[in-house]
A and B are shown apart, each in its own frame.
Chain A
Amino acid sequence: MNVLEIINGIPHPVALLDRQFRLSSMNSKLEALTGHAAEKVKGIGVEHVLRFNFGIGEIQAGLAKGASFAKEGDVIDAGRKRIPIRLTTSPLKGKNDRLDGIMMVLEDISLLHELDRKVLRRGAPDALIGHSAKMEEIYELLPVLACTDATVLITGETGTGKDLLAEAVHKASKRADHPFIKVNSGAIPEALLESELFGHKRGAFTGAHSDKPGMFRLAQGGTIFLTEIGDLPLQLQVKLLTVLDDREFYPLGSSKKVSVDVRVITGTHRDLKQLVREGTFREDLYFRLNVLRAHLPPLRERGNDVLLLLDHFLKQIEENSGRSGMSFTEAALARLAGYHYPGNVRELRNIVEYAASMCKNSRIDLRHLPPYVLSQEEETYPDRPVQPPSISPDARRPLSNGEPPPSSLVDSASSWTEIEKKKILAALLRNNGSRSLAARELGWGRSTLWRKIKQYEIE
């Protein structure tokens, strides 16, 4: 099989070049794209034939690192159409690692671009949303974080969007064309975490049947986001510190060092300084990670962003479920605006999803909200009046002093039961014991109410 047959078998336009970046061959797909026959353009500089929008110097610089090099841009085809492409340039090496030639593969990414535009129009699900002053600070910080290779520590309560910020930093950085890999240090058992992060050699331990590259190697050229870094075992903290300092490590069971070019971003909801004081987190690693820092504000400190997010997630649900014209009643909106969201944006999204599922028509009312949202006012802040959102955005920040909310009231199963039990009792009392009227008020079927009365032994 000759080279031309091989490159004609590749489902993308392909060019083969000599060391001076002159065309030596191209496949039929590239001939169709450029409108030139391969034999006519032999020996001509590739930039004159492919007509991409970057200089050959950029590609040469990328190739100088010795590995494949990918770059997004566009070309103008024979039909005078500008086509977005991803150009992957690979060195073709012969004996003694000598550069014999270069292969260029052009991937048409028009569809991806079109998809991106559609996603943006629909409101990107992975975008950071909010116009509050605290979020504006984050947006201002983003380019600063993106333009360097320094480690970033992202702090913030659970559900504030640390993952999204890390990904946004990656996407805005020069590493955007390379992988973004997220590892939850707290979710992987300690025994597996080292292998997961740094890989292992076949036979390194029982069950290691083959070599594993590990997340650091998979993220080569890109960014690795280590979330819940506060949960990283001490032993691995030392190894991470070495990787950050030397950019190389030994995979488990291997005597061969592996070099990596990976940017590290870490995230945590814990107070790392406190962990350092307690001796569970290495001080030197803390300083190494804390080069650049971004703190994501809790939702209760983000003012009007609550309304923005409610609207955003409702629209997203509408689009995904094919429903339309959904909205909140004023009472529901006031209650949602007054809620303190201990689980932050994640919790808000879940509440909207719950309410939309419970609501069979298009107006989401109080009765469609999760019971713990309704009960919170009386249980937690009995004296606080419910403020309509349009009157005072600040009024829905009951915990703006920064104190954590009394999560026991909403988190534990026992208090949930209590809340629901009280709610049922109150509804029965208001309706003079009528189960059908109480069920209607609660937004349940009679059988549901009957089942819950049985369950809670309400007689």
Chain B
Amino acid sequence: MEKILLTLSDRMIAPRFDLATEVLIVSTKNGAAVDSQKSMLLPGPSADDLCGLVMKEDIAVLICGGIEEEHYQFLTWKKVRVFDRVIGEDEDVLAEFLRGTLQPGAIVENRKGSGADSHG
């Protein structure tokens, strides 16, 4: 079982990790999402608090927008895999991750639309 945390802003990946006030935590097993999904509204934006939440929830993968080097280094040191600078809607990004094709800096297009995705 592996837990993934996505920082969100109106169903899109939040442009900045330090300003995100909403997160989605998804549990996966053998490369597929299990039913348990948890959406949380945070009391306010704080990169430090978010790092604390990642630790507390025992998150293995973080998918976010822009993140500062200091927090990135801390999380990777704590063995969290970080996919940063990602742009796209939560469902599409998650699907891309589960397919194993998500990369840092990915611009994930709406799968219901063109069906194509690209990496910036």
Measured CB to CB, the residues of A under 8 A from B are 35-37, 40-41, 44-45, 47-53, 75-82
Contact = CB atoms under 8 A, between A and B. Distances in A.
Contacts of A53: 16, 19
Nearest to A75: B66
24 contacts: A35-B85, A35-B105, A36-B85, A36-B87, A36-B120, A41-B87, A44-B107, A45-B12, A48-B12, A48-B13, A49-B15, A49-B87, A51-B15, A51-B16, A52-B15, A53-B16, A53-B19, A75-B66, A76-B67, A77-B66, A78-B85, A80-B66, A81-B69, A82-B68
Interface string B42-70: 00000000000000000000000111110
B84 interface: yes
Contact of B87 (A48, A77, A81, A82): A48
A48 B68 contact: no
A35 B104 CA distance: 11
A78 B66 CA distance: 8
A81 B68 contact: yes
Given A48-B12, A51-B16, A53-B16, A41 B68 contact: no
B120 A48 contact: no
Given A41-B107, A76-B68, 10 more contacts: A36-B87, A37-B120, A41-B87, A48-B12, A48-B87, A50-B15, A51-B15, A51-B66, A80-B67, A81-B68
Nearest to B66: A76
B83 interface: no
Contacts of A48: 12-13, 15, 65, 87
B69 A80 contact: yes
A40 B68 contact: no
List the 7 closest A-B pairs by CB distance, nearest first.
Answer: A76-B66, A36-B120, A51-B66, A80-B69, A51-B15, A40-B120, A48-B87
A459 B15 CA distance: 85
Contacts of B12: 45, 48
Contacts of A79: 69
B72 to A, nearest CB: 5
Contacts of B69: 79-81
Contacts of B36: none
A77 B12 CA distance: 19
Contacts of B118: 40
Contacts of B105: 35-36, 78
A41 B105 CA distance: 11
Contacts of B120: 35-37, 40-41
A78 B65 CA distance: 10
A41 B85 CA distance: 12
Nearest to B70: A80
B107 A80 contact: no
B87 A44 contact: yes
B87 to A, nearest CB: 5
A87 B85 CA distance: 20
A428 B58 CA distance: 88
Q: Which of A75, A76, A78 has the most C-beta atoms of chain B within 10 angstroms of its own C-beta?
A: A76
